[in-house]
Homo-oligomer: A and B are copies of this chain.
């Protein structure tokens, strides 16, 4: 691929842009814009930002992603989990509603943009792989619960907040008696309506003869209906005077040009949160992008995606926004509405700009309870406690990773939760590979096949022990191998030959090499020869660079059969025995 088009995917699709694509993109943009207005306001509320910041965070980032991103359908902007992480990070440095808070949001977006851009340029996209699927599922589920419980205060019209389930719950219970009835009535109505839209509207529309896609898209407009109805109710009934919290006056403005504060102490405080936000945001975004791309047999390039998301976050930092990423629901709507190129995103940006300029007076009486209701309904779709059951059924290690991630996230907050999840997955993996499966094998009579003596009826020779190692050999299991082999040999004084069958050994690192040398030395001291069989090409290439093969007391055989024949004939003793063990 040409160097310039590699970094500017727009040059690829832009060249063949025509009127048909333009029409499709425009229709998709109108639909997405309508859906995004309430969503952007809601995620601004979740992130603790002023409502207009949600709109601003959806404009410049969408355009920048359209230039640098590789997915044709991904829609970037504020999303639930990243907004929650943003609130948690900013809460450490400033109080919500202060100028310092909004300023720190710009710094966080700038840092996140710089980190994503650096990861993309250094091709470090693979780092996101260390978030295992169980950890991501657990984290998203726990975040969804934290968000939903955290938004309940807006439905009740009370004070609250907090970073952990216990903090949020305690404050909810403490303030429960101060519940504002008018707010609760509006919030409950919005919540009920939105749940019905999600569960009941689509089948109803299908019965009315709408196609599945159209029905899907129409249900996404539910929040808009809730927004309009509750805004009119507050305005008409003067509910704001009865204590219903409303969005309030929102400036009518283009996204402002802002300069993030890059003072070293602030960067020091926000760097780790920005890193976690970047990685989580990237993982979420790339999954959406890959899912949509596969439906059209297209490909997204992960390292270029990092650059696209990095540019989008830098855009948010310089235009009064906060951290953004590719969102699932908006991207699916964009895709289903027929968006063909990233130009659809650019048109959406234009739509949102018009909204920021013209529509903001109309949302003055919009109650926060309605926004909270849209958030709750959206995030409950993320909560998937079934992952615990599926993980349990599949493997205990995966279950431990999910359960620990969920518990730590709920009880200690999002930042510790995701870090703990990564640490646990890595440790569990190392633990598993540190105790590899080592099968003692014997020959199936009359064949050249060797199988586990505990599973098959096989022939063995008392003086010859053959061990098949079902794992690559590296530092974490090198000593286990030493212990296993030396235990086996010291238990049985008849042993004169040990054959290690290397057919499943994909690597031998320096630690394992030194363990093999130690095993060779110690077996020599016991008068036992060490042989290797079925060593893979790349492993053999590497072993040949070391001293082991020269010092090996035995031989290296291409086939296990040849090794066993040779060892058995070299060792005087009783004839082969047939052996069977459970």
Interface residues of A (CB under 8 A from B): 126, 128-135, 290-291, 294-295, 297-299, 302, 390-391, 393-395, 397-398, 425-426, 429-437, 470-472, 474-480, 482-483, 486-487, 490, 504, 506-507, 509-511, 513-515, 518, 521-522, 525-526, 536, 538, 542, 545-546
Contact = CB atoms under 8 A, between A and B. Distances in A.
Which of A290, A476, A480, A482 counts the most B-chain CB atoms under 10 A from its CB? A476
Which of A132, A425, A545 counts the most B-chain CB atoms under 10 A from its CB? A132
A509 B425 CA distance: 11
Contacts of A426: 426, 430
B394 A546 contact: yes
Which of A482, A510, A518 counts the most B-chain CB atoms under 10 A from its CB? A510
Contact of A510 (B131, B134, B525): B134
A430 B487 CA distance: 29
Nearest to A131: B475
Nearest to A298: B490
- How many copies of this chain are found per oligomer? 2
Nearest to A515: B133
Which of A290, A390, A507, A538 counts the most B-chain CB atoms under 10 A from its CB? A507
Nearest to A536: B470
B434 A478 contact: no
A478 B510 contact: no
A24 to B, nearest CB: 20
Nearest to A134: B510
B397 A509 contact: yes
Contacts of A506: 436-437, 470-471, 504
Nearest to A294: B522
A297 B522 CA distance: 8
Given A425-B475, A429-B476, A432-B507, 10 more contacts: A132-B474, A132-B509, A132-B510, A133-B511, A294-B522, A390-B510, A391-B510, A393-B545, A426-B430, A429-B475
B510 A395 contact: yes
B542 A486 contact: no
Given A133-B514, A511-B133, A435 B394 contact: no
B509 A297 contact: no
A487 B299 CA distance: 7
B294 A526 contact: yes
A424 to B, nearest CB: 11
A484 to B, nearest CB: 11
Contacts of A525: 294-295, 297
B132 A394 contact: no
